[in-house]
Structure 1
Amino acid sequence: MAEAPAAGRPDPASAALARLAAEACDDRKAVDIRLIRVDEVSTLADWFVICSGLSDVQVRAIARSVEERIEEETGRLPLRREGQAEGRWVLLDYGELIVHVLMPQEREYYDLESFWGHGQQERYLGSAQATSS
């Protein structure tokens, strides 16, 4: 049986899952990808990955990319998925990870980054940003 991480230290498996999701978002050119560690401030999950797609088609493609990548590399499917039909805010719930893919208007309106601002946040620097730095 796996040992629980020490208090104050994130579970490395959930951190790796969050990074994998962020990479999958980047693969579909998601905008402003953020990872928020919420394990110390919430029982909902350990991590949130939040990003934007610039159209409903892109939002659904980003969510599909996350699902496919996580299933391919870990064999896991989301426990719950919401919003794919509308394509304005897709939520993928993996238990310890919740991925939010939103249109810019929804992201601005709901402002999840501020709501979860007490969690540790980091901006994911994808392939385009890393090469231009």
Structure 2
Amino acid sequence: MTDPSEELTPYLSVVFGRKPRSVTAIDVRSLTSYTDTLIIVEAGSHRQVTSLAENIVTGLKAKNILSLGTEGIKEGEWALLDYGSPIIHIFETKAKAFYDLEGLWSDAPRLDLSGFETALKSPKDPS
């Protein structure tokens, strides 16, 4: 596991700020040329997929970070937010299991996101 670089901080802080079920970041720079990092976000429902995607786009736009393109936000099963590097995938739980991007990219190293998870939990949050 490696630490996420500072360039991912704006993306990950917005993602973790919306309390997804899970987040995985995969370093794919040595395996593909179209991006350096895949961020895979799990949501519990179609509505949460849409909400997470809309809030991520809005939150990043507020930081002057614009997407190159988006797909699937309104449908709510799988949303793709293309920021060049990273590309953010937001899946409803069943779709995440079906597409299994973590398995597809099993040879790629995972980034250590524990610092983001810890930093964004409130002191009163026992989970």
Instruction: Report the TM range for the smaller structure's normalisation.
Output: 0.7 to 0.9
Comparing 56-65 and 86-95, the one that deviates more: 56-65
The offset of 1:60, in angstroms, is 1.2
Matching of residue 21 in structure 1 with residue 21 in structure 2? no
The offset of 1:63, in angstroms, is 1.1
User: Runs ≥4 in structure 1, deviation > 3 angstroms?
Assistant: 128-133
Q: TM-score, normalised by structure 1?
A: 0.78
Q: Which residue does the alignment assign to 1:52? A: 42
Cα–Cα, structure 1 residues 38 and 54, in superposed 2: closer, same or farther, change >3 Å? same
Matching of residue 87 in structure 1 with residue 76 in structure 2? yes
The offset of 1:101, in angstroms, is 0.4
Matching of residue 38 in structure 1 with residue 28 in structure 2? yes
Cα–Cα, structure 1 residues 55 and 123, in superposed 2: closer, same or farther, change >3 Å? farther
**Contact 1:18/1:49, CA 8 A, preserved across alignment:** no
Letter paired with 1:35:
A
Supply the distance in 1 between the matched residues of 2:54 and 2:88 (Cα, whole angstroms): 11
The 5 Å alignment of 1:1-133 reads 15-73=5-63, 75-122=64-111, 124-125=113-114, 126=117, 127-128=120-121
SS in 2 for 1:49: strand
Supply the distance in 1 between the matched residues of 2:36 and 2:50 (Cα, whole angstroms): 24
Identity %: 26
SS in 2 for 1:26: helix
The offset of 1:22, in angstroms, is 2.1
The offset of 1:17, in angstroms, is 4.1
The runs of 5 or more residues in structure 1 that have no matched partner are: 1-11
**Contact 2:69/2:81, CA 8 A, preserved across alignment:** yes
Cα–Cα, structure 1 residues 21 and 83, in superposed 2: closer, same or farther, change >3 Å? same
**Contact 1:35/1:50, CA 8 A, preserved across alignment:** yes
The runs of 5 or more residues in structure 2 that have no matched partner are: none
SS in 1 for 2:59: helix
Deviation by residue 1:32-70 (Cα, 9 ceiling, x = unmatched): 111111111111201111011111111111112221222
